[in-house]
Amino acid sequence: MTDRGSAARSERYKLGRMVASADALPYNLPTERLQVTGMAVREIRAELRHIPNWRSAIAVVRVLAEPFFIGWVAVQLSHPLVWMLAFLLMGPTYARFASLGHEAVHRTLFSNRAANDFVGRWLMSYPTFVPFDLYRRSHINHHRDEMGPKEPDIPLYSGYPITRKSLGRKLFRDARGQTGWKLFRGLLRGLRSPKAKTHARRIVGAQLVLLSIATAFGRPELYLFLWFLPYLTVWRVINRLRAIAEHGGMERSADRRRTTHHVHQGPASGFVMVPFKIGYHLAHHVDMGVPCWNLPKLQRELDASGWVTDEYGHKSYCSLWKALSSA
C-alpha cells in the first residue's frame, strides 16, 4: 500500500492476507532480460508479444465445435449417465469460451483488430452471456490497478483466507444456480437500461440463435440442459475457483507478486479451468500484451531470474484453495 486511502481500502475489504512473506519476494530486478516490473526488455518483448494467428484460429474452431459434439454424443448414446457427464463437461467448455474471449478483450487473439473483436464479441462472448465491450472496459481497469479504486471484482477477491465452511457455502450457492441466476437477472434488467440495452440485446439475440439451432434439430432441450443450466451452475463454480486462485486475498501494489498468485500448472487444471495456458496468471499481469500461447515463455524468464521463488508460488490449485480456506 502506498497511501492512507489504499490502507483504508485494504482494511475495509481485508486485503493482503494471502501475500507471501518478504523473504519469498526478492527484489532482484532488473536484469539484462527483464525490466524492474518483470516485463521483458524490448527485443525479447517483441518476440513474446507475437500473435500466432493460425493457432488461435484452430482454437476458435475447436471451441465452437465442442458444445455441438458433446450434445451429439449425448443424443446418440441417450443414457442418463452420459447426459449427466455432458452437463458437467459444459463447465470446462464455458472456460474455453471465456479464455478465448479474454484474449480478444486484450486484442491478443488475432493480430487483425477487426477479426479479433468480431470473434471475441459474436463467437466467444455473446453466446456465453458476456457483454464484451463492457467487460473489456472493466477488465482493463483491473489490469491498470489491481485492487485499486476501479477494481471491478474486489468483493470476489477480498476476505481471504476464509473458513472452509464459508468457501463451501459460496460454492454451494454457485452450484445450485443462485449466483448465476442473479447475474442472469442483471442481464435481463440491462434490456431496459439506456447504457446496457445494446449489449444485453446482442446477448439475448445470440441465445435465441442457439435455441433456434437446437430446435431445428428437434431437440430444444439441448439448449436448456447443455447450455443455459451449465452456465447457471457448473460454470459458476469453476469461475469462482479460478478467480480466487488468481487474486484471492492479495493486495494493491506495483509488485505483481503481491496482487496475483502463481500456481504451477498441470493437465487436469488446464482441461477443466485454465485452458490455453491462461493459468500463467502472474505472467499475464506482468505483461497483458503477451498472448496466452507465449505466457509459459515469459514465466520461464521470471523463474530463471529468481524473481519467482518456490516459496511464493503454489504447487497446485488444491494447495492454494486449501490455504484460501484455512482461516
- Least confident span in 1-10, 71-80, 258-267, 278-287: 1-10
Q: What is the mean pLDDT of residues 25-42?
A: 96
Exposed/middle/buried for residue 100 (C-beta within 10 Å: 0-12, 13-18, 19+): buried
Render pLDDT for 41-95 as a digit per residue (tens, 0 to 9): 999 999 999 999 999 999 999 999 999 999 999 999 999 999 999 999 999 999 9
Q: What is the pLDDT of residue 1?
A: 44
Cell numbers linked to 294: 507465449
CA-to-CA separations, 327 to 17, 84, 106, 166, 320, in angstroms, rounded: 10, 34, 35, 10, 13
Percentage of the residues of the chain whose pLDDT score is greater than 70: 97
Confidence of residue 13 (pLDDT cuts 50, 70, 90): confident
Residue 233 and residue 221: Cα distance in Å, rounded?
17
Residue 165 and residue 14: Cα distance in Å, rounded?
18
Q: Is the pLDDT of residue 271 over 80?
A: yes
Confidence of residue 235 (pLDDT cuts 50, 70, 90): very high
Report how many domains make up the chain.
Answer: 1
Contacts of residue 281, Cβ cutoff 8 Å, sequence gap at least 6: 245, 246, 260, 261, 262, 263
Q: Look up the domain containing 172 and give its range.
A: 4-324
What one-letter code names the amino acid at 50?
H
Name the nearest CA neighbour of 325 among 175, 167, 170, 174. 167
